[in-house]
Structure 1
Amino acid sequence: MSEPEVLTDMDVAGTDRYVLRKLPEVTLAFWVMKIAATTLGETAGDLFAQTLKLGYFLTTIALFLIFVVLCPEHERELVVGPLLEMVLCER
């Protein structure tokens, strides 16, 4: 009984199609969101660190905690939101 052949990424990277499927599609919307997120993140960091004089360490902790609190809320809204909308629109 022969062992199955194991292919690595280098073995199949010869086809452009395989490599392109692994990369996200970069569109204008991607760049707009990336620039907005970077700008807002830096602005929030400057607000906490310099204007409120919390320093970089406390600012990092504060912004991380905001992220940890808001992320599950966002995920819950993605799941519950459309279902709640369907129930409310049926009346």
Structure 2
Amino acid sequence: MTKVLIVIAAVADLAIAALLIGVSGFIFAGGPNAGTADALTTVLYTGAVVACIALPIAALLLSRKGRSGPALIAALAPVAVGFLVLLVPVL
């Protein structure tokens, strides 16, 4: 059951990473509809994309060692971080 939840969370994490990459053009690119991105926004976006890709891999490795609790936390953390990073330009 744990591995099924980790796989579902990994798919959600990769979807959030794709969403962050797709939305980043509106925040970092120049143009009439672009926002103003400062260094903090750049660091948060880069960290969120890396976390969305790296943490599901870590979760699968932890679940193979029999540690299901930390694996679920590692798999679900990017979901929360991804939504928080999408709110940064609004704040």
State TM-score, norm by structure 2.
0.31
- Relative contact order: is structure 1 or structure 2 higher (C-alpha 8 Å, sep ≥ 6)? 2
Bigger Rg over Cα: 1
Query: Could you tell me the TM-score, scaled by structure 1's length?
Result: 0.31
